[in-house]
Amino acid sequence: MNPPPKKANSRPARPGKQEQLIDARASARRPERSAGRRPGSRPNRRPVDPVERLMRIERRKARSRAIFLSVLVLFIMLVMAVLILVVMRKTKPNPQFLFIQKGKLTHYAQGNALILRDDSVAVAPSTGQVKPLVTEGMRVSRGQKLALVIPSGLERQLDELDKCEQDIVDLQLELMNQGKGSGARAIYNESAVALSSIVNLVRGDVVNQTLRNLPAYQAAMTVIMEQRSGKLAAVDFHDARLDQLLMQKQSLEQSLGLSSGTLASSQPGIISFHLDGLEDALGSAAAENLTFQDYQNALEQAQTFKTAAREVGTGEPVLRVTSSLEHHLAFYLDGVQPADLPADRRYTVVVPSEGIEITNCRLVRVEQQGQGSFAIFRSDRRVEWFSDRRSFAAELAVSETEGMRIPRVSLIDFDSSGRTASILMVTGGYTRLVPVKIVDYDREYAIIDVSGEAGEEDLKPSLSSVIVANPESIGEGEFIGG
């Protein structure tokens, strides 16, 4: 028989000392359990200021934006670097190759040429107006009529003659446009080309703000037009009106000639109506005793270009006839020594403004003058071309060097003092750096020779050797093909 259950004690049992100690330690670790607070409830936190909270949010956003922008900038810089590399690779010039060829280098010295020639001057027999009967620069024969000096009182007949000549030119142009006159169009085209070159010179002077050459240009254009009229006079247009005008012109010239002074050529030569007052002083004989001071004075006087005179007095010079078959050219060449001008050479004078050359110039005399040389040359070329002037700017070919010529841009590490450089030569399909010796050079080309350092036979440059014209486009030892 089971014992009866014990009767429960209605009062709770008191904890022991050990349990009381544990509860005390737990209470110390949890200060939130204070008087008046339920155990396990959350502590009272300090309320947060809304302004401070917004500032924190803005700082986080600013930090995020800075990080994003930094990453974006780094990305853009990386993309730009890649694009630059791609563009540089695509725009890198391709290597250009050329053959070493035989050529010549010419060094020029600049100076003003003074022309010495034999001129015969014709003077006016009376006072009046000058009427030319031949064109400027034309070769005339002995006894040929050159001009009329028309006295006062005959101005009306002279005006009629000028009007008749203008009517002839206008009618010739009209007939030419209609397809008449075989060869007239070629004469007009030839004169148009010559006139266009002078117009270009005038434009260049206007750009450079200089007008001192305008009288010379005007005279040259007048010469060209007179020459055109002379050539057109020989063309048959098969027109009755033109034939009548030509007969009227001839009649007026004859009527004026009966009462006018006629100037005829005393010797064959080249006619010119431009005078400078130096015809007697600067003949061919002056080449033997012309001094440098005389040369300077003559150049200064020749700067004043004198056009053909329309009104002359008795005894005044009207025209001149150049009878010499040669002309002398006096130069002052700054920086050129007399030893640089050997007498056994043939020299070339270049006129850059007109694009012509005077070849076969022989040295007559040369002397030291300061830091340069005063020299006189003689030539039989281009005598007619310069018959209307006394001086011109020119360049004299002082020295020439022949050999293996290459462009200067193909030289590597060029040493002007030691006259050494290197070139990239192609041999066996590869580019090889070859040292060379510079014999001569100018702004564009260089004459090279084999350097003593080139030991291997296949590394010695010679005619027809292939070199790289732009060595910056390729490196040494690169393969270009067999």
Query: For residue 4, what pLDDT band results from cuts at 50, 70 and 90?
Result: low
| Longest alpha-carbon distance in the chain | 192
Q: How many Å from the N-terminal Cα to the C-terminal Cα in the chain?
A: 124
Q: Given a cut of 50, is residue 361 above it in pLDDT?
A: yes
With a cut of 80, say whether residue 309 has pLDDT above it: no
Q: Does residue 43 have a pLDDT over 70?
A: no
d(CA 92, CA 175): 60
Of the chain, the percentage scoring pLDDT greater than 70 comes to 84
CB 309 within 8 A of CB 130: yes
**CA 404 → CA 104, 412, 430, 450, 464, distances in Å?**
8, 16, 22, 10, 9
For 65-111, the DSSP string reads HHHHHHHHHHHHHHHHHHHHHHHHHHHSPPP-EEE-EEEEEEEEEEE
Please report where in the chains the tokens 């010495």 appear, as a residue: 116
Nearest to 145 by CA among 299, 253, 1: 253
Percent of all residues in the chain with a pLDDT value above 90, rounded to a whole number: 25
pLDDT at 246: 86
Alpha carbons within 13 A on the beta-carbon side of 190: 13
pLDDT in tens, 54-102: 888 888 888 888 899 899 999 999 999 888 887 776 666 788 889 999 9
Instruction: Kindly tell me the sign of the dihedral angle through the C-alpha atoms of 173, 177, 180, 184.
Output: positive
Cα–Cα distance for residue pair 62/268, rounded to 1 Å? 102
Predicted local distance difference test score (pLDDT) of residue 41: 52
Pick the closest to residue 30 from 19, 48, 46, 22 (CA basis). Answer: 22
- The pTM (predicted TM-score) of the whole model is 0.60
What residues have CB less than 8 Å from 281, skipping those under 6 apart? 298
Mean pLDDT of 366-388: 91
Q: pLDDT category, 176, cuts 50, 70, 90? A: confident
Question: Distance between CA atoms of 392 and 337, rounded to whole angstroms?
Answer: 22
Bigger pLDDT: 46 or 124? Answer: 124
- Report whether 449 contacts 439 (CB < 8 A): yes
What are the CA-CA distances from residue 7 to residues 1, 2, 10, 253 (Å)? 18, 15, 9, 176
pLDDT in tens, 394-447: 999 998 899 999 999 999 999 988 899 999 999 888 889 999 999 999 889 999
Cβ–Cβ < 8 Å for 151, 256: no
Q: Averaged over 193-217, what is the pLDDT?
A: 79
Q: In the block, which residue shows the tokens 């006079």?
A: 233
Residues present in the chain in total: 482
Which residue do the tokens 């200064």 mark? 300
CB atoms within 10 A of CB 322: 24
pLDDT class for 228, splitting at 50, 70, 90?
Answer: confident
Assess contact for 363 and 340: CB atoms under 8 A: no
Whole-number mean pLDDT of the chain? 82
Tokens 């014209």, residue?
A: 469
Q: What does the pLDDT read at residue 329?
A: 95
**Number of other CB atoms surrounding residue 334 within 10 Å:** 13
What's the pLDDT score for residue 291?
Answer: 93
If pLDDT is split at 50, 70 and 90, which confidence band does 8 have? very low
Tokens linked to 123:
């003077």
Q: Quick check: 314 pLDDT over 90?
A: no
Residue-level pLDDT at 177: 85
> Architecture of 97-105+401-473 per CATH?
Beta Barrel (2.40)
Flag the least confident range among 144-158, 189-203, 304-318, 323-337.
304-318
How far is Cα 379 from Cα 355, in angstroms, rounded to an integer? 18
Is the Cβ–Cβ distance between 124 and 313 less than 8 Å? Answer: yes
Position 380 confidence tier, pLDDT thresholds 50, 70, 90:
very high
The residues with which 448 forms a beta bridge, in sequence order, are 404, 438
Q: What are phi and psi of 377, to 5 degrees?
A: -120, 160
Per-residue model confidence as pLDDT tens digits over 240-273: 888 888 888 888 877 776 667 888 888 898 888 8
DSSP 482: -
pLDDT-based confidence at residue 312 (cuts at 50, 70, 90): confident
CA dist 339 and 398 (Å) reads 11
